[in-house]
Amino acid sequence: MEQQKLPNATISLILGIVSFIACCFSSGFGGVLLSAIALYLANKDKKVAEENPELYENYGQVKTARIIAIVGLILSIIISIICLVLIVIFGSVEAIQEELLEMQNAQA
């Protein structure tokens, strides 16, 4: 019997990796979305592979994608919480930028 590839393994791996980048550039919310989708797809493939593990050859890729998605989700949540706390403390994004500018001017 010929082994098959799991259908969502590659896309979940790519989404998990991109979630690391997205968590830094979109205040964490983009990373949460991408890593949640990656985790969903990886878990879906994991369930399929557990039914007949001898049919699929790239189960290791699914495990890797799942781990990367979990780490990306945790990092994105942490960054999102930090951004929300800063907005609550300073009142707005503009106030945060002004405070950072004042700190830079004080150091110069």
Q: What is the DSSP track for the chain?
A: ---B--TTHHHHHHHHHHHHHHHHHSTTHHHHHHHHHHHHHHHHHHHHHHH-GGGBS-HHHHHHHHHHHHHHHHHHHHHHHHHHHHHHHHSSHHHHHHHHHHHHHHH-
What is the average pLDDT score of the chain?
Answer: 90
pTM of the complete model? 0.82
Higher pLDDT, 40 or 3: 40
What is the structure's pLDDT at 1?
64
43-96 pLDDT per residue, tens: 999 999 999 888 989 999 999 999 999 999 999 999 999 988 888 887 787 888
Whether the per-residue pLDDT at 103 is higher than 70: the answer is: yes
pLDDT band at 16 (very low <50, low <70, confident <90, very high): very high
